[in-house]
């Protein structure tokens, strides 16, 4: 593999997916710690203090790993995605700066108070610090997700013909981007589910071994209640996420559903099938009538466009984009050419489609029909990857709802330690929230291809002028470094879990 674009995408994907192993657990555990310590402050029972401290140690190990892996990601915008940073830095940069302030000033400060303030702060003061950690972790995630949502639906900005860059027009519109709101609550709920499953599974392991029984039963009770509410929110908000995708990323939705041809409304939902990129069909499909139409459009008479129709639409947009690109070039050469500027302004939203041609020709203005068709075809992402990733995520989500519902029932009737089969099932289900989260990010990010910024900046246009050898060197370094971190992380977690809350 010697394509710097593919390698740069691979490097960012690996570092992002690895970093996201730590993010959901940090967010979920932070709120669980706040809940557990609240119980301690309200009841005054020492066991809840020990519960909070123990889970706090595991939270701290995970938090440190998340910080270490997160910093390297932001540097890649300058090293591997220089033109991306130049083109959208005026919009993307402030959002990352706010996130950095939340993470390193608010979150990190109160994390220190959480670990070192037990004997220096009153109960209420320490509880306030713990709640600020929970608020800080969620707040940090908020701004990252607002930035990511802008990449999916770029609102509140415009292209400046003088600087040749995107500029922010309204922080309000960017923050209240409908995609951002849905993405935030969906991701945060998934993170809460991850934290709850971690506590539930480790506590089940203690009950299987008949160790720290009182500790484990109390921890499981909190995790079961919190996890059931969170898992149900994930399912409900996932439905809302599909609805917003209908308006802003129709190709992603069609690819996720393996929908090649536009069906008469309301469209059916494909439960399972076999997408075929060559034949442009989904074979052996098992369908639920009307379901996709209701989920995606909330109506019975609105069609959900298929990928082939969307490809035709992209081809028309590319032809308009060619003329838009030509008008911009003419205006850059002669800034007194107001006719060229007016022509560009009229079709400014199609500029990104003209830039899609840069991957296939250096002469965008005179692109051939073959090159236009190739650019239009590139707007269809890898359908099998998205189709199966989505179904894996959804299946795992419903499975977790069932696990938490059973745990909640057993906690309510006080029989958590009476069902060995459920303890084993819960313990072996520990990896599932991470699998679902990683699959969700694949759907969100891979489904946006070929765009770095939906409809504005093609991914291929945003990469730095780096060689394949340079990217291979940095990618190899990341793999070695992250593998070492993973070994240390697993070792420390296992060490403290085996030691238990009493240190024995």
Query: What is the DSSP track for 323-365?
Result: HHHHHHHHHHH-TT-HHHHHHHHHTGGGHHHHHGGGGT-S-ST
Can you tell me the mean pLDDT for 288-308? 86
d(CA 481, CA 488): 11
Q: What's phi and psi for 158, nearest 5 deg? A: -155, 165
Residue closest to 141 by CA, chosen among 90, 195, 83: 195
Look at residue 57 and tell me whether its pLDDT is greater than 70: yes
Q: What's phi and psi for 272, nearest 5 deg? A: -155, 155
d(CA 49, CA 5): 51
Task: Locate all alpha helices (DSSP H) within 102-212, ordered by sequence.
Answer: 108-116, 123-152, 171-175, 178-208
What's the angle, vertex CA 39, arms to CA 36 and CA 41, rounded to 5?
110
d(CA 491, CA 504): 17
Element (H, E) at 61: helix 46-79
Residue closest to 33 by CA, chosen among 132, 125, 140, 141: 132
Look at residue 324 and tell me whether its pLDDT is greater than 90: yes
d(CA 502, CA 196): 21
Residue closest to 244 by CA, chosen among 433, 400, 444: 444
Can you tell me the mean pLDDT for 165-185? 91
Can you tell me the mean pLDDT for 294-308? 86
- Tens of pLDDT along 106-123? 777 899 999 999 999 999
Which tokens is 283 given?
């074979």
Can you tell me the mean pLDDT for 35-46? 95
What's the angle, vertex CA 133, arms to CA 67 and CA 30, rounded to 5?
80
What local confidence, expressed as pLDDT, does residue 243 receive? 64
d(CA 413, CA 226): 17
When pLDDT is cut at 50, 70 and 90, the band that residue 1 belongs to is: low
- Tens of pLDDT along 403-427? 999 999 999 999 988 999 999 999 9
Higher pLDDT, 290 or 459: 459
Query: From residue 365, how far is each of 280, 341, 374, 503 by CA, in Å?
Result: 30, 16, 15, 70
d(CA 170, CA 181): 16
Which tokens is 187 given?
């991701």
- Tens of pLDDT along 240-265? 676 677 778 899 999 999 999 998 88
Can you tell me the mean pLDDT for 19-42? 94
What local confidence, expressed as pLDDT, does residue 133 receive? 93
SS3 category, 155: coil
When pLDDT is cut at 50, 70 and 90, the band that residue 209 belongs to is: very high
Q: Which of 35-44, 271-280, 320-329, 495-504 has the lowest mean pLDDT?
A: 495-504
Which tokens is 233 given?
């929110």
Element (H, E) at 494: helix 468-499
Number of H helices, E strands in the chain: 20, 6
Residue closest to 58 by CA, chosen among 500, 438, 429: 500
Average model confidence (pLDDT) for the chain? 91
d(CA 74, CA 370): 37
Which tokens is 172 given?
């309000």
- Tens of pLDDT along 127-159? 999 999 999 899 888 999 999 999 999 999 999
Look at residue 239 and tell me whether its pLDDT is greater than 70: no
Can you tell me the mean pLDDT for 486-496? 91
SS3 category, 273: strand
d(CA 415, CA 367): 70
Element (H, E) at 56: helix 46-79
CB 275 within 8 A of CB 258: yes
d(CA 20, CA 438): 7
CB 146 within 8 A of CB 168: no
């Amino acid at each position: 593999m010697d394509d710097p674009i593919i390698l740069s995408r691979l490097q960012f994907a690996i570092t992002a997916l690895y970093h996201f192993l730590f993010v959901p657990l940090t967010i979920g555990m932070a709120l669980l710690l706040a809940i557990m310590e609240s119980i301690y402050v309200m009841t005054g029972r020492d066991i809840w203090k020990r519960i909070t401290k123990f889970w706090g140690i595991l939270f701290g190990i995970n938090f440190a790993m998340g910080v270490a892996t997160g910093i390297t990601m932001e540097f890649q915008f300058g090293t591997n995605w220089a033109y991306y940073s130049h083109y959208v830095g005026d919009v993307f940069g402030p959002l990352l700066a706010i996130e950095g302030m939340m993470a390193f000033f608010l979150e990190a400060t109160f994390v220190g108070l959480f670990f070192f303030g037990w004997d220096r702060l009153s109960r209420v003061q320490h509880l306030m610090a713990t709640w600020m950690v929970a608020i800080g972790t969620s707040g940090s995630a908020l701004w990252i997700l607002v930035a990511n949502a802008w990449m999916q639906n770029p609102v509140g900005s415009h292209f400046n013909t003088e600087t040749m860059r995107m500029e922010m027009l309204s922080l309000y519109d960017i923050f209240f981007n409908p995609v951002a709101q849905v993405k935030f609550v969906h991701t945060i709920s998934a993170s809460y589910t991850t934290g709850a499953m971690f506590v539930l599974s480790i506590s089940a392991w203690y009950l299987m071994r008949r160790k720290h029984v009182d500790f484990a039963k109390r921890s499981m009770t909190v995790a079961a209640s919190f996890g059931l509410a969170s898992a149900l929110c994930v399912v409900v908000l996932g439905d809302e996420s599909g609805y917003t995708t209908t308006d802003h990323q129709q190709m992603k939705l069609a690819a996720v559903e393996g929908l090649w041809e536009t069906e008469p409304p309301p469209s059916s939902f494909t439960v399972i099938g076999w997408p075929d990129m060559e034949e442009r069909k989904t074979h052996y499909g098992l369908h639920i009538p009307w379901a996709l139409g209701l989920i995606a459009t909330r109506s019975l008479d609105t069609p959900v466009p298929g990928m082939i129709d969307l490809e035709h639409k992209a081809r028309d947009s590319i032809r308009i984009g060619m003329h838009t690109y030509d008008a911009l070039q003419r205006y850059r050469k002669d800034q007194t050419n107001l006719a060229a500027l007016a022509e560009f302004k009229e079709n400014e939203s199609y500029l990104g489609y003209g830039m899609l041609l840069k991957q296939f020709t250096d002469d965008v203005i005179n692109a051939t029909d073959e090159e236009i068709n190739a650019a239009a075809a590139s707007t269809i992402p890898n359908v099998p990857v998205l189709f199966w990733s989505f179904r894996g995520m959804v299946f795992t989500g419903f499975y977790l709802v069932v696990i938490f519902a059973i745990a909640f029932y057993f906690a309510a009737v006080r029989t958590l330690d009476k069902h060995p089969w459920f303890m084993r099932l819960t313990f072996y289900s520990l990896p599932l929230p991470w699998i679902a989260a990683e699959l969700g990010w694949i759907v969100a990010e891979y489904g946006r291809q070929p765009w770095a910024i939906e409809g504005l900046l093609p991914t291929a246009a945003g990469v730095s002028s780096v060689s394949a050898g340079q990217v291979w060197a940095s990618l190899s370094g990341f793999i070695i470094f992250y593998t070492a971190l993973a070994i240390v992380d697993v070792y420390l977690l296992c060490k403290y879990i085996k030691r238990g809350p009493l240190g024995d």
